[in-house]
Amino acid sequence: ARGSAAGSIVAYSLFITLVDPLQHGLIFERFLNPGRISMPDIDLDFRDDRRSEMLEYTARKYGDDKVAQIITFGTLGARAAIRDVGRVLDIPLSEVDSAAKLVPNIPGKPTTINDALEEVPEFKQLYNSTGYFKELIDTASHMEGVVRNAGTHAAGVIITDKPTIEYLPLHRPTSGSSEDNPIKTVTQFEMSHIDDLGMLKVDFLGLATLTIMARACDLIKQRHGIELNLDNIPIDDPPTFELLGRGETAGVFQVEGAGMRRYLVQMKPQTLDNVIAMVALFRPGPMEFIPGYIRRMHNEEEVEYLHPALEPIFEETYGYPVYQEQLMFAVMNLAGYTAPEADDLRKAISKKQKDKLLKHREKFISGATEKGIAEETARKIFDSWEEFARYGFNKAHAADYGVLAVQTAYLKTHYPEEYMTAVLSVNQNDTSKVALYAADCRRMGIEVAPPDVNISEWDFSIEDHHEGKSTIRFGLGAVKNVGRVP
């Protein structure tokens, strides 16, 4: 399991989560607090090649009539609305496409047609140019947000004590549903309404990395007699951090992108905490802090705090507010917040709830001044957090993924043949990734032999030679148009 559940020491003790919440300063109330009405949420990651087994087990244990997947509704965005309306109005596709592309498309920050009319002069000019463009854009603005299609949530499943039909309407998808999914029934209420009804939702997520690790560990056991698993793969191994610091991370979870590799080479991570911070920072928004974080880490830039009381909380990230949990600790220490109140502030900032923010601002300044902090300093502190917390990352989630990143790096460092064989097998349907990983194998001095109808298995495999060297043999499953007989 991953996410905020890592803040629970009970979950850690029961081997539900991998990260020790005491060691990493995680907060239980980030997961569950007395003020929370909705059910606690634990995201469960499974090997992606065995996820259907878990769904089948769930349906069998609780009954087919008591489990259901959750519907999702796709709505028309600005660009899609313009294209759909343009097709109906029979406007040439090239003109419609040119108009649609004038609407900014920023991930995580959708721009409406009305916003574009105010912010993009070329779009406004096009709107005023001809009557049919005005009709196109006006009609499209009314279509924005309209439901276009229904789908199924990638992971969410509800489990009920009585047949689900007694709680909410259901439907069975006529097309697009996975043939190997044992849960065929889907709710007609989407996620937000499921939460309002107080129903138990469980997320069953398939993670290819877990499949890779399991296959690599099986190969290691077969070839070396060493039994490794998620509980005993080291996370404090110096050669592993050296590999990360060289940027040799092709196939390593969360850190194999070109941008991440560049920063890892600059950072030269020494500890798990360094990797956790990179996982949290390498996203739109906080990414701008990475160069400063690295300079401060290497004592090339002075670390500054708005108040000395902030130092114990933010010193692990060299003064930068990276984690939501840091904000929660800070308001508890500086202004006397309880943990549930601190979590309420976190939610108010991340969801931009202006009314709540005004109340919290007054509460924080009042509490901080009572503890001897100057009012002007308290205002500056709160203002700096307000901007950060929109991008602040859940440390519990970053810690879970940071652990997997270091563990996969360990496997690549000490068992490169086994690990890369597993990586190639799991990605064998993606030719670009196979080419990338095969090239990385050759860089490490591992030969990747071509497919051979007499030798190759379905997956990639390891061939041992008398000279002590090993070769990875191309799997037939990676050959285009080669099928597998049932």
Cβ neighbours of residue 158 closer than 8 Å, sequence gap 6 or more: 67, 68, 69, 70, 164, 187, 194, 199, 200, 201, 202
- Summarize the confidence of residues 433-445 as an average pLDDT: 96
Say how far apart CA 217 and CA 227 lie, in whole Å.
7
Say how far apart CA 87 and CA 170 lie, in whole Å.
33
Q: What are phi and psi of 276, to 5 degrees?
A: -60, -45
Residue 1 pLDDT > 80, yes or no? no
Q: How confident is the model at residue 18, as a pLDDT? A: 86
Q: How confident is the model at residue 426, as a pLDDT? A: 96
Mean pLDDT for all residues in the chain: 90
pLDDT digits (tens, 9 = 90+) for 308-358: 999 999 999 999 888 988 999 999 999 999 988 998 898 888 877 888 989
Residue 35 pLDDT > 80, yes or no? no
Cβ neighbours of residue 147 closer than 8 Å, sequence gap 6 or more: 73, 74, 75
Q: How confident is the model at residue 154, as a pLDDT? A: 84
Q: How confident is the model at residue 385, as a pLDDT? A: 81
Enter the pTM of the model.
0.84
Residue 109 pLDDT > 70, yes or no? yes
Contact predicate 324/389, CB 8 Å: yes
Say how far apart CA 400 and CA 397 lie, in whole Å.
5
Q: How confident is the model at residue 198, as a pLDDT? A: 84
Query: Quick one: which of 299, 272, 313 has its CA closest to 402?
Result: 272
Residue 121 pLDDT > 80, yes or no? yes
Contact predicate 482/429, CB 8 Å: no
pLDDT digits (tens, 9 = 90+) for 450-485: 999 999 999 999 998 767 788 999 999 999 888 887
Q: How confident is the model at residue 55, as a pLDDT? A: 93
Cβ neighbours of residue 386 closer than 8 Å, sequence gap 6 or more: 349, 357
- The pair of structure tokens assigned to 53 is 């087994």
Say how far apart CA 283 and CA 397 lie, in whole Å.
14
Say how far apart CA 205 and CA 209 lie, in whole Å.
12
| Identity of the amino acid at 453 | V
pLDDT digits (tens, 9 = 90+) for 43-55: 889 999 999 999 9
Say how far apart CA 368 and CA 366 lie, in whole Å.
6
Q: How confident is the model at residue 434, as a pLDDT? A: 96
| Identity of the amino acid at 414 | H
Say how far apart CA 297 and CA 130 lie, in whole Å.
58
Secondary structure letter of residue 3 according to DSSP:
G
Domains assigned to the chain = 77-145 (1.10.10.1600), 300-392 (no CATH)
Residue 174 pLDDT > 70, yes or no? no
Provide the 3-class DSSP secondary structure of residue 421.
helix
Cβ neighbours of residue 362 closer than 8 Å, sequence gap 6 or more: none
Query: Quick one: which of 459, 343, 460 has its CA closest to 392?
Result: 343
- Summarize the confidence of residues 365-382 as an average pLDDT: 93
Say how far apart CA 184 and CA 175 lie, in whole Å.
11
- The pair of structure tokens assigned to 414 is 């000490």
Label residue 32 by pLDDT band (50, 70, 90). Answer: confident
The CB density around residue 447, as the number of other CB atoms within 10 Å, is 14
Considering 28-42, 52-66, 95-109, the range whose residues carry the highest mean pLDDT is 52-66
Contact predicate 146/75, CB 8 Å: yes
Say how far apart CA 18 and CA 213 lie, in whole Å.
15
CA angle 403, 409, 415 (to 5 degrees): 130
Say how far apart CA 172 and CA 191 lie, in whole Å.
17
Label residue 10 by pLDDT band (50, 70, 90). Answer: very high
By mean pLDDT, which of 87-91, 196-200, 207-211 is the weakest? 196-200
Contact predicate 419/411, CB 8 Å: yes
The H or E element containing residue 156 is strand 147-159
Q: How confident is the model at residue 178, as a pLDDT? A: 53
Residue 260 pLDDT > 70, yes or no? yes
Q: How far is CA 123 from CA 88, 92, 116, 195, in A?
A: 20, 17, 7, 39
Considering 28-42, 250-264, 372-386, the range whose residues carry the highest mean pLDDT is 250-264
Per the document, the length of the chain is 486
Residue 180 pLDDT > 90, yes or no? no
Give 169-186 as a DSSP string. -EE--SSS--TT-S---E
Residue 176 pLDDT > 60, yes or no? no
Greatest distance between any 2 Cα atoms in the chain: 79
pLDDT digits (tens, 9 = 90+) for 379-396: 999 988 877 766 778 898
- The pair of structure tokens assigned to 54 is 């878990």
Q: Which residue has the tokens 């009609």?
A: 139
